[in-house]
Chain A
């Protein structure tokens, strides 16, 4: 547990470094805004409409696949630690688990969901 005190202090110091350097820059730098400068950069043309537009559903499907395999990854970690004491039984237990989720992967492959369109 004690190790995390150091980690927390480190995180605090990183934040402090970021804030201090931004603050120092705020004191040093010029500040001369004008309308053209404050516009969004779009290679010189006037931006039309907001950037917050609708995205294709493919992104959502990738995120979904990611969650399932991320869950698998989290299950793999305690398994990796006790594998040695479990022996072959432990290996086959996980092989079955991966195999069942692999069916989902195979389905996605066959249905062409892994293709990005």
Chain B
């Protein structure tokens, strides 16, 4: 049962990823991306990482998707992109990266690394994450705020100069 559900979700994830690449209309691409991110959240849920699944939906399927859609609407409004791709030579870079990824996946299949140490706690991982975040990983957590601040101020400053 679990395996069947996993493969169904995985099929949706792969199909939507393909849709994202194949569709030329950027808005269609963004919509396929939402499906893809949602199916990844479903896989997190199957791993009992409920907090991560919800965070994935809130941040990626919600916020990031809005950012992409707004970016598309601000740049190229719903039209299919025409003309030659200025970044065409860069497509060659995909070959070594793809090969590298394939080797990694094969390695995973051969080595079969051990599963995570302990299943997440009672609150679907949220409580366990909170405890770790505010004890062992407090410093990286605080640094995250600086990262977010830098991103925010940086983009606002850039956008302001353009406008």
Of the listed residues B74, B133, B163, the one surrounded by the most CB atoms of chain A closer than 10 A to its CB is: B74
Q: Does A107 contact B (CB under 8 A)?
A: yes
Q: How far, in whole Å, are A111 and B155 apart by their CA atoms in the complex?
A: 13
Q: How far, in whole Å, are A61 and B158 apart by their CA atoms in the complex?
A: 11
Please count how many residues in chain B sit with their CB below 8 Å of the partner chain's CB atoms: 44
Is B162 a contact of A57 with CB atoms below 8 Å?
Answer: yes
Interface residues in A57-108 (C-beta closer than 8 Å to B): 57, 59-68, 70-75, 77-82, 85-86, 89-90, 93, 96-98, 100-101, 103-104, 107-108
Q: Does B123 contact A (CB under 8 A)?
A: yes
Q: Does A54 contact B (CB under 8 A)?
A: yes
Chain A residues whose CB sits within 8 angstroms of the CB of B163 once the complex forms: 57
Partner of A101, one of B55, B149, B159: B149
**Distance of B38 from chain A, by nearest CB (Å):** 11
Contacts A54-B77, A77-B51, A77-B126 given: A71-B67 contact, CB under 8 Å? no
Partner of B74, one of A59, A71, A100: A59
Interface of A, secondary structure class, is: helix
Q: Does B17 contact A (CB under 8 A)?
A: no
Partner of B126, one of A60, A81, A93, A100: A81
Is A64 a contact of B67 with CB atoms below 8 Å?
Answer: yes
Q: Does B24 contact A (CB under 8 A)?
A: no
Stretch at the interface among B58-66, B84-92, B94-102: B58-66
Partner of B142, one of A54, A80, A96: A96
* CB-nearest residue of chain A to B149: A104
Is B74 a contact of A60 with CB atoms below 8 Å?
Answer: yes
Chain A residues whose CB sits within 8 angstroms of the CB of B127 once the complex forms: 78, 81-82
Contacts A70-B63, A72-B148 given: A52-B78 contact, CB under 8 Å? yes
**Distance of B141 from chain A, by nearest CB (Å):** 7
Q: Which residues on A are within 8 Å of B, measured CB to CB?
A: 1, 4, 50, 52-57, 59-68, 70-75, 77-82, 85-86, 89-90, 93, 96-98, 100-101, 103-104, 107-108, 111, 113
A-B contact pairs, 5 of them (CB 8 A): A64-B155, A74-B55, A100-B149, A101-B148, A103-B153
Q: Which residues on B are within 8 Å of A, measured CB to CB?
A: 45, 48, 51, 55, 58-59, 62-64, 66-67, 70-71, 73-75, 77-79, 123, 126-127, 129-131, 133-134, 138, 141-142, 144-146, 148-149, 151-153, 155-156, 159-160, 162-163
